[in-house]
Structure 1
Amino acid sequence: MSEANLNNTQSSDAMAAALDSVHEVKIGDVVKGEVLAIEDRQVIVGIEGTGVEGVVPQKELSSQPIEDIADVAKVGDQLDLVVISRIGNDKENGSYLLSKRRLEARKVWSEIEQKFANQETITAKVIDVVKGGLVVDAGVRGFVPASMISDRFVRDLSSFKGQELTLQIIEIEPSENRLILSRKALLEQERQAKLQAVFEKMLPGDVVEGEVARLTNFGAFIDLGGVDGLVHVSEISYDHINQPSDVLEVGQKVQVKVLSLDQEKGRISLSIKDTQPGPWDDIADKAPVGSTLEGVVKRLTTFGAFVEVFPGVEGLVHISQISHQHIATPNDVLEEGQTVQVKVLSVDPEQQRLGLSIKALQEKPAGAKDSEHEDVAPSDYVMPEEETGFSIGDMLGKTLDDK
């Protein structure tokens, strides 16, 4: 074979080899591209093994906003890209639209699908607050519905913006770019674990420190370390209060006594007032027999009037001790809310009872007849049993026994 023919044969073989090494570019292919040039808001790359070029728009370079392309790419860089579409109809010399962002998203979706299958959680940053919930960046766009954000009602979602949240994957569909996440489920699991720990170490009667977490009209929720217990409004103070916010504020540290634990319902009942000195403590010193006190008529019954002489301390003025004149009922001379002066006739700290008299501080009018109950001794004036505190004998008076 002549030298010329040999050279032609070698040239043909080289061309054939070169043509064999050129791969056809297809939509969806993952390719490598060498950055050839950076133009306004796009990168020109040579697609490896194809002999053709591609274009990567600035928005397709990263899932994060880019101000300067030079921050993420420079001439000579090798980029992993996915083919999105063809630009023009020239198969030999045409170029392709490529994306780095979508290839990265593919990998993220794959990782999230794997975590979903393994029941693992993901961490994502809240990038926007919308009407229905939170938009998060998990490498791909995710959504947390408002009903799945917390295990309690949240009025203002704006406080979550910028936060990194640990989330449970509820629904995933990469082909539709749908990723639904939940924080509520994880909080409930965490709360149950903390609740279990509290029930294992806490007993009724224990006094512990907590922090006021929330205030409602019916009471205050106290954080005991990730678990809330309720102090009903009636257990906040011995003094009458209209609403918890009158005496408490969110974030305040308080001492509370554990009243009851209901593990099945996850409820803890607490009391603040039981950690404070009771209104009947030292009552014998505050209201010794023979002393004069000022009080307010709280309740009127057929057998007498209950007068509050200290916050949380009521004594009984038996009907026989209201007036020197005969009265049919206490309503004849007294009304609820009226301020009166009373004399202490008897004190029973153990039973929390005070016997009081109004008429003992008044001068007996000339010619006034004694009350029909005059022979009732001060010791017979007792505080009510159950709601009223009186036994039947107490209500009717000792006179019945004498008849």
Structure 2
Amino acid sequence: MSESENKDLLEALNSVKPVKIGDVVKGEVLALDDSKQVIVGIEGTGVEGVVPARELSIKAEELEEQVKVGDVIDLVVISKIGSDKEGGSFLLSQRRLEARKVWDEIEQKFEAGENITAPVTQVVKGGLVVDAGVRGFIPASMVSDHFVEDLSQFKGQTLELKIVEIEPSENRLILSHKEVAHAEREAKRQEIMSDLAAGDVLEGKVARLTNFGAFVDLGGVDGLVHVSEISYERVGKPSDVLKVGQDVKVKVLSVDPERDRISLSIKQTLPQPWDNINEKVAEGDIVEGTVKRLTSFGAFVEVFPGVEGLVHISQISHKHIATPNEVLTSGESVKAKVLNVDGENHRLALSIKALQEKPAADSKETSHKPSKNTSNDFPDEETGFTLGDIIGQDLKK
């Protein structure tokens, strides 16, 4: 061998790079065998490698369409096959190399404090699995800023996620949507709060119930419907008439951005109890109702939801009584005759004694009495109201 040939051989041998596990190499496709493996020549090494179908980034059935002899692909060395001292063959992977690149990108974002986005692929016990280029996991406690009973609603959604923990060597990527959800909710809350005004009528959904009222979700911010604003009828517990998840129409009573409070009313979106009262009842009708309140001058009886009529003390019984509670109790069901209907002023005069038979002794005594009182201190026999009652009620209003 000439000196020139020897020199060329030495240079060729020196140019051959050793192959190590973990190296990133380029492989020229030499052949595709029947077992769906790709045989490659590792550039600059003089040795061959094998890429199993499972280590490709494409599906096995697409192999022949996507990979051709002569193609050069980037690969990572996984292990050595056999013990050939001349170099032998190596097991290579395209999929793991791409995963390594993804891990590098995620690590860079983690260090920079940046979030990533990924679709939810599975709902598993304890949380959600996402595809971030590599498998990521969101613990159930980190899915939202509030408790979520059914996580299946997130399947298929693409979420913005904070990187909580990353360990590429163990393929561990822990993510959180909680902080992002909280920030989104806060931004939405600020937007809604700035747009709300007293008097607005909105659609909402009952979010939760308490003993004192119902919290209604207005699309990112909750408002309170106090128990007294749920219905014109008396409501003992909000859960008696409302359910979580129920759609409701509400009216905005007040907005307090500083205290982060929104007061709402359901009943004010409903027809007023006194609307068309003259079509519901007329003078002379007999109605049945419930005694709601007892006062020194009479009893208030609810005859329709939110509509109370006054039975003046003089209209309770033919017998003389000092106070209404001598013969009536709160919550008692009674029948009464309608003496007068004043829908404009929300007044309804009732009489219980008009439905009772008048004692014989009283009929003789009362036959000499005038049908109406001339004094303002006594009730009108037809309406059951005195001037003092009317003025007193106006003052209360």
TM-score range, shorter chain: 0.7 to 0.9
Select 1:360's aligned residue among 349, 354, 357: 354
CA distance in 1, matches of 2:145, 2:392: 44
CA distance in 2, matches of 1:322, 1:173: 83
Residue correspondence of structure 1 range 4-403 to structure 2 within 5 A:
8-39=2-33, 40-62=35-57, 66-70=60-64, 72-203=66-197, 205-212=198-205, 214=207, 216=209, 218-219=213-214, 221-224=216-219, 226-232=220-226, 234-239=228-233, 252=247, 254=249, 256-264=250-258, 266-281=260-275, 290-299=283-292, 301=294, 303=296, 304-326=298-320, 330=325, 332=327, 336-344=331-339, 354-368=348-362, 376-377=378-379, 378-379=385-386, 380-381=388-389
CA distance in 2, matches of 1:155, 1:77: 51
TM-score, normalised relative to structure 1 = 0.79
Q: Which digits, 9 at most, give the CA deviation of each residue in 1:285-313, with x for residues without a partner? A: 7667x543513224364745431112111
Deviates more, 1:271-280 or 1:291-300: 291-300
Q: Which digits, 9 at most, give the CA deviation of each residue in 1:106-148, with x for residues without a partner? A: 2111211222233332121111111111000000111111122
Q: Which amino acid aligns with 1:261?
A: V
CA distance in 1, matches of 2:325, 2:17: 108
What displacement does 1:55 show? 1.7
What displacement does 1:149 show? 1.5
> How many aligned residue pairs are there?
374
Q: Gaps spanning 5+ residues in structure 1: where?
A: 1-6, 392-403
Confirm or deny: 8 A CA contact 1:316 1:383 kept in the other structure: no
Q: Report the 3-state secondary structure (helix = DSSP H, G, I; strand = E; otherwise coil) of the residue aligned with 2:17.
A: coil
What displacement does 1:23 show? 0.2
CA distance in 2, matches of 1:228, 1:180: 31
Q: Report the 3-state secondary structure (helix = DSSP H, G, I; strand = E; otherwise coil) of the residue aligned with 2:2.
A: helix
Q: Gaps spanning 5+ residues in structure 2: where?
A: 367-372, 380-384
CA distance in 2, matches of 1:251, 1:307: 32
Confirm or deny: 8 A CA contact 1:235 1:272 kept in the other structure: yes
CA distance in 2, matches of 1:318, 1:208: 39
Q: Which digits, 9 at most, give the CA deviation of each residue in 1:151-204, with x for residues without a partner? A: 33322222322222222222222233222222222122122112222222323x
CA distance in 2, matches of 1:338, 1:89: 100
CA distance in 1, matches of 2:326, 2:70: 101
Confirm or deny: 8 A CA contact 1:295 1:339 kept in the other structure: yes
CA RMSD, 1 decimal: 3.6
Confirm or deny: 8 A CA contact 2:25 2:74 kept in the other structure: yes
Q: Report the 3-state secondary structure (helix = DSSP H, G, I; strand = E; otherwise coil) of the residue aligned with 2:147.
A: coil
Identity between Structure 1 and Structure 2 (%): 54
What displacement does 1:206 show? 2.5
Q: Report the 3-state secondary structure (helix = DSSP H, G, I; strand = E; otherwise coil) of the residue aligned with 1:134.
A: strand
Confirm or deny: 8 A CA contact 2:293 2:301 kept in the other structure: no
Confirm or deny: 8 A CA contact 2:289 2:335 kept in the other structure: yes
Q: Which amino acid aligns with 1:336?
A: G
TM-score, normalised relative to structure 2 = 0.80
Shift of the 308–132 alpha-carbon distance from structure 1 to 2, 3 Å rule, reads same
CA distance in 2, matches of 1:357, 1:237: 27
What displacement does 1:249 show? 9.4
